Amino acid sequence: MQLSSQLIVNLEQAIQDHNIEEIKRLIKQVNHADLADVLATLSFDVQVKLIEYLPHAAYVFEFLSLAQQLEIAEQLPTSQLVQLISEMHSDDRTDLFKALSKNLKNEVYAQLDPQIQQQIQKLAQYAEESAGAIMSSDFVALSPNLTIPQAIEQIRQQASDRETLYLIYIVDQASKLLGVVSLREIILAEPTKRIADIMTTDLVVGAVHEDQESIAQKLSHYDFIALPILDDEQHLLGIVTYDDAMDVAQEEMTEDFLKSSAVSSSPKMSIKTAPIFFLYKKRVFWLVILVFGSLLSGIGISHFEDIISANIVLVFFLPLLVGSGGNAGSQSATLMVRALAMGDVQLKDWMYLIGRETLVALCLGGTMAFAVSILGYIRGDAMVALVLALSMMGIVLLGCLIGMSLPFILNRLKLDPASASAPLVTSICDATGVIVYLFIASILLGQVAA
């Protein structure tokens, strides 16, 4: 829903006038996600006031980024912050609580309900980027011995503060997961049946210490709304919902994108608000490494100074050739990193893919070689055209194979394939491209000179 600018103006005026009835009237038909977008556009003082006046502030608050939540939370009265945190879903509540300053954390914790305190302690213990760190304890669990009417009554009693009701989890007295049943199946079942009669026991689950990216992939693959998270003894600890998996996927995509540009990963980094030194620190390491990597190109050029001096026309085509190799290598690396991330290829596919990439590279290199040979003939002669054609074929082939292989090698070494970034591949291809080009030139043009 796209909110009109007039509605936003009216809302801001109502907040400034402390007109609670008008605020309620204006936001009555507005989606919580849209309200969060509106909140982010208002001045900070007005944001704090709106949070105070909203009837379901926690639902809107959860759509804000953690940085925005934290900024507002630090300005709210402690009593109101306690109420806000208490009404949030358990996973979002824990994330915000962990981000609070130590003093504020102690003040808030002391005023929270003991049950919520226990939830926070439980969820806060899990490592970042694990399933436990993103799971929610707001799920509905039933006994397998309940009749359908009894189950429906229990669902009614638990429904008010649960994150999702579509999937109901069936557990024994020790909270071990036995099965799962959808709300639809419960509603359509005969009243005389028991939950055990209709539940599904062929389960797809996640482990509490499993990587969150793996959890997101399972949810996507099976098209589930939520995934149950178990400990080593098969006790049901929580669930990861699809919206949380989407957040994880977005963070992982951002992390890979940053790495592909040779920037140290920090998915939650905002280029608008991040400190200058923070941005410097995230970028300087790879840039310095790549500077020294580029020296290899200089070493190659210095080694072939004689052939370059004798054939100045070679310098004209040097950027074109090495740039083509870097571009081809970057394309191959990007395709391979994506394929590895999506699970489309495995390490055992390396040799097969190398063969395919060789054929593709020869076709690409042949087409580019034909085009550059025409330029070589115009700028030089037939021998220069031949040098350029052979060099383009070799450089593109080498670039594609480097781009294809580097992610595989990093994956084999238990490193992140996304580190086979475009700048890294380009630097390697530049250095090898210079050597290939000038080596071929020295052989062919050197023979002519002799």
Query: Model confidence at 1, in pLDDT bands (50, 70, 90)?
Result: very low
CA distance 18 to 265: 43
Q: Is the pLDDT of residue 254 over 90?
A: no
As a whole number of Å, the end-to-end CA separation of the chain is 76
CA distance 349 to 94: 42
Mean pLDDT score, 235-258 = 77
> Would you state the structure tokens that stand for residue 212, as one six-digit string?
């969150």
Structural domain contains residue 262: no
Query: Model confidence at 177, in pLDDT bands (50, 70, 90)?
Result: very high
Strand 167-171 vs strand 141-142: parallel, antiparallel, or unpaired? parallel
Residue where a domain terminates, one of 251, 284, 313: 251
Residue where a domain terminates, one of 68, 99, 125: 125
| Per-residue pLDDT, 204 | 92
| Per-residue pLDDT, 138 | 85
Does 313 share its domain with 241?
no
Q: 162: which DSSP letter?
A: -
Does 312 share its domain with 430?
yes
Mean pLDDT score, 343-362 = 87
Structural domain contains residue 257: no
Of all residues in the chain, the percent with pLDDT exceeding 70 is 89
Does 290 share its domain with 365?
yes
Does 74 share its domain with 202?
no
| Per-residue pLDDT, 287 | 73
Long-range CB pairs of 203-209, under 8 A, 24+ apart, other chains included: 203/177, 203/179, 203/228, 205/177, 205/229, 205/230, 206/131, 206/230, 206/240, 207/131, 207/231, 207/232, 208/126, 208/130, 208/131, 208/132, 208/135, 208/237, 208/238, 209/126, 209/127, 209/130, 209/131, 209/132
Mean pLDDT score, 69-92 = 88
State pLDDT tens for residues 262-296: 555 554 555 666 677 776 777 777 677 777 767 77
Is there a contact between 219 and 186 (Cβ–Cβ < 8 Å)? no
Is there a contact between 405 and 417 (Cβ–Cβ < 8 Å)? no
When mean pLDDT is compared across 95-109, 209-223, 298-312, the lowest value belongs to 298-312
> Would you state the structure tokens that stand for residue 326, as one six-digit string?
């870097």
- The strand ranges marked E within 174-253 are 177-182, 206-207, 226-230, 236-241
Does 103 share its domain with 188?
no
Alpha helical stretches, state H, 200-241 = 212-222
Does 214 share its domain with 281?
no
Structural domain contains residue 130: no
Is there a contact between 204 and 160 (Cβ–Cβ < 8 Å)? no
Q: Is the pLDDT of residue 150 over 90?
A: yes
| Per-residue pLDDT, 333 | 86
Structural domain contains residue 216: yes
Does 305 share its domain with 207?
no
Q: Is the pLDDT of residue 250 over 60?
A: yes
Q: Is the pLDDT of residue 449 over 70?
A: no
- Burial (0-12, 13-18, 19+ Cβ within 10 Å), 17: exposed
| Per-residue pLDDT, 163 | 64
Q: What is the domain-level CATH number for residue 230?
A: 3.10.580.10
Does 82 share its domain with 185?
no
Mean pLDDT score, 243-260 = 68
Structural domain contains residue 52: yes
- Quote the number of domains for the chain: 3
State pLDDT tens for residues 306-323: 888 888 888 888 888 988
Q: What is the domain-level CATH number for residue 22?
A: 1.25.60.10
Query: Model confidence at 192, in pLDDT bands (50, 70, 90)?
Result: very high
Structural domain contains residue 199: yes
Q: What is the residue range of 109's domain?
A: 5-125
Query: Model confidence at 347, in pLDDT bands (50, 70, 90)?
Result: confident
Query: Model confidence at 369, in pLDDT bands (50, 70, 90)?
Result: very high
Structural domain contains residue 120: yes
Does 120 share its domain with 155?
no
> Would you state the structure tokens that stand for residue 148, as one six-digit string?
């359908």
Is there a contact between 408 and 337 (Cβ–Cβ < 8 Å)? no
Q: What is the domain-level CATH number for residue 305?
A: 1.10.357.20
Residue where a domain terminates, one of 95, 125, 155: 125
**Residue 284 CB partners (closer than 8 Å, separation 6+):** none
Q: Is the pLDDT of residue 230 over 90?
A: yes
Long-range CB pairs of 284-289, under 8 A, 24+ apart, other chains included: 286/262, 286/421, 286/423, 286/424, 287/262
Q: 18: which DSSP letter?
A: T
CA distance 313 to 379: 7
Does 153 share its domain with 80?
no
pLDDT, averaged across the chain: 83
| Per-residue pLDDT, 373 | 92
Does 282 share its domain with 406?
yes
Specify which of 332-341, 348-357, 386-395 reaches the highest per-range mean pLDDT: 386-395
Does 289 share its domain with 335?
yes
DSSP secondary structure letters along 95-135 = HHHHHS-HHHHHHHHHHS-HHHHHHHHHHHTSPTTBHHHH-
| Per-residue pLDDT, 448 | 47
| Per-residue pLDDT, 256 | 60
| Per-residue pLDDT, 208 | 93
Query: Model confidence at 3, in pLDDT bands (50, 70, 90)?
Result: low
Structural domain contains residue 132: no
Q: Is the pLDDT of residue 260 over 50?
A: yes
Query: Model confidence at 214, in pLDDT bands (50, 70, 90)?
Result: confident
